Structure 1
Amino acid sequence: MKTLKSIFRFYINGSIHVALAICALVQVTFMKYGISDQYTFLLFSFLGAITAYNFVKYSKVSKLYHKRLTKSMKGIRVLTILSCSSFIYLSFRVSINTWIYMAPFIALTVLYVVPVFPNKKNLRSLAGVKIFIIGMVWAGMTVLVPLVHVKGNLNLNFLIEMIQRFLFIVVMMLPFEVRDLQYDDVALETIPQKIGVTRTKLFGSILLVIFLLLTAVKDELLSSIEILSTILITTISLFFLWGTDKKQSEYYCSFWVESIPIMWLIILVILESLFS
């Protein structure tokens, strides 16, 4: 049992779970646009996500305490190095055009950590912008970049999908902000700090309603699969949003909330098998 717990912690702390969530959203995009057999790009996204997230979470720790790293942290460092090396190798199979569209989101990820602003601030420490930056990066990397990679049509439907994905990610970040309420510096001015926990849940609920209603704005005939899957994932997201509290189980956010994109993909796969 102790070994299983250690493996699970490594799975979470090594950003493997969040990387799978990102891959799930990329695949959701591919399925919505009828695109198949993009396994190399999915692996590319998975490895890049592990590299980026571990860079954001652990770069300062590795730099300052590399001589005293725990066994787990050493494992995460090895995982990150291997993921980064494999990501670089696969990058040669991605077009220059794709990299051009990826560049702004990579820059935002770096600026999220590196203190380049006045008073040695990074984007993460700027008041009130944290979850919106994450929303932009996730939306760009799971909708825009995959469609550019396959030379998809960036039309009105694409724009709506980008807005929906941004809203979805912002809502997914709200439970994390509620969880961190007792630890975050007041200078961060997070949404729960500004309006309280209950109003944060109401704010997230409004965003989810907009997320759902935007489906009807798409200019092409929607399939019953997309409509039903959007309703289901909105319901699931509302359930986890309202289940959020300042005192929550250790893995409520880092496992269950981050599993919602994976649930979305599973819903789509099941619905396609039933109705196709």
Structure 2
Amino acid sequence: MRILERFFNFYITSSLHVALACISLVYLSFLQVQVVPDVAFLWFSLGLAISGYNFVKYIPALIQHFHTDYYKRNRGILYFSMFVIILTSLLFLQLSFPKYYILFPFLLLTFMYVFPLSGTCKNLRTIPGIKIVIVAIVWVGITYIVPVFYMNVVTMLSFMEIFQRFLLILILMIPFEIRDLSEDQEFLQTLPQAVGIFSSKKIGYVLVFLFLMLSFAQYVWEAQKCLPDVLMAIVLFFSLKYTKKTQSNYYSSFWVEGIPILYVVLWKFLP
């Protein structure tokens, strides 16, 4: 039982779970543009998500606490991350990716989220009010824009799907913003800090409504295709409704973070 608990904890803290959520949305993008999913690109996206998230979570702390036991306590995750970075780099070299430059703005945003570009600048995370927006932009880029450009299947509907994906990520971020309310420094002006928990949830409900309206607008002549989005809107609504400042250990980091996995299952198996 203790082995299972340690494995599950590693699964969460090593960003494997959030990476599965990421490639679920990449897979969803392939379904939405009606192309056969590229397995190599999915593996690349998985490695990119693990590398990116662990870079954001652990590298700043490692630099700050280099002379403490932080490295010893997290060396398993750090070694795992280095292994994934090497494999992901090799995969990138194997991909036929003529428009690879599309990837770099999102990698740059990830880097700037952690490190300032010059000594006089702040990193993006410390600029008041934009943390949630930067995260949503990077997620939309990695899970929709990059795969669609990779497959060269950009259409007029792509712009609506980009906006819908952006709304989805904003909604999913709200439970994390509420969870981190007591830990985030006040100057960050995250959504709950700026408007409070109750108003943050109300904003989330409005975003869920807009998410659903975009689905109806896209599939106005194919109403059955809206069913996954309708069910997803219900799930998103209740995930916001039951979000609290004091959460169970895995409410956001497992259940909310797993919602994209459910989303792609609905899209794959519902008519």
TM bin (shorter chain): over 0.9
Secondary structure at the aligned position of 1:92 is classed as helix
Correspondence for 2:150: 149
Describe the SS at the equivalent of 1:244. coil
* Deviation for aligned residue 1:71: 5.5
Amino acid of the structure 2 residue aligned with 1:130? K
Q: What is the alpha-carbon distance in structure 1 between the residues aligned to residue 195 and residue 223 of structure 2?
A: 38
- Sort the Cα spacing of 1:98 and 1:19 in 2 relative to 1 into closer, same or farther, 3 A: farther
2:103 partner SS? helix
Match of 1:233 in 2: 232
CA contact under 8 A between 1:19 and 1:50: conserved in structure 2? Answer: yes
Preserved CA contact (<8 Å) 1:10 1:72: no
| Structure-2 residue corresponding to 1:102 | 103
What is the CA–CA distance in structure 2 between the aligned matches of 1:156 and 1:222, rounded to whole Å?
A: 17
Q: 1:144 to 1:183 in 2, by over 3 A?
A: same
| In 2, Cα distance between equivalents of 1:161 and 1:62 | 37
**Once the 2 structures are TM-superposed, how far is the Cα of residue 56 of structure 1 from its aligned partner?**
0.3
Specify the code of the residue in structure 1 equivalent to 2:131. K
Equivalent residue, structure 1, for 2:267: 268
The 2-side partners of 1:231 and 1:79 are apart by 38
In 1, Cα distance between equivalents of 2:194 and 2:125: 17
**Mapping of residues 55-74 of structure 1, within 5 Å:** 55-66=55-66, 68-69=69-70, 73-74=74-75
SS at match of 2:94: coil
Q: Which residue pairs with 1:212 in the alignment? A: 212
2:170 maps to: 170
Give runs of aligned pairs for residues 12-91 of structure 1, distance below 5 A: 12-66=12-66, 68-69=69-70, 73-91=74-92
Alpha-carbon offset, residue 61 of structure 1: 2.5
Provide the aligned C-alpha RMSD in A: 1.7
TM-superposed deviation, 1:74: 1.1
**Offset at 1:216?**
2.6
| Deviations, residues 225-269 of structure 1 (Å, cap 9, x unaligned) | x30001011110111111100011011100000000001011122
Counterpart AA for 1:231 = V
Compared with structure 1, are the counterparts of its residues 89 and 223 closer, same or farther at alpha carbon in structure 2 (3 Å cutoff)? farther
Following TM superposition, by how much is the alpha carbon of 1:215 offset from its aligned partner in structure 2, in angstroms? 1.7
Unaligned runs of 5+ in 2: none
* Identical positions, percent: 36
Aligned counterparts of 2:137 and 2:222: Cα–Cα separation in 1: 25
Matched residue SS, 1:82: helix
- Contact 2:31–2:37, Cα closer than 8 Å, also in 1: no
Residue of structure 1 equivalent to 2:182: 182
Q: CA deviation at 1:119?
A: 5.0
Q: Which amino acid counterpart does residue 149 of structure 1 have in structure 2?
A: Y
Corresponding position of 1:255: 254
Q: What TM-score, normalized to structure 2?
A: 0.94
Displacement, 1:218?
A: 2.5
Please give the secondary structure, in 2, of the residue aligned with 1:128: coil
Residue by residue over 1:70-124, the C-alpha shift from the partner in whole angstroms, topping out at 9 and shown as x without a partner, is 6551110111011100000011133454321111101000000002366552101
Contact 2:62–2:71, Cα closer than 8 Å, also in 1: no
Number of matched pairs = 270
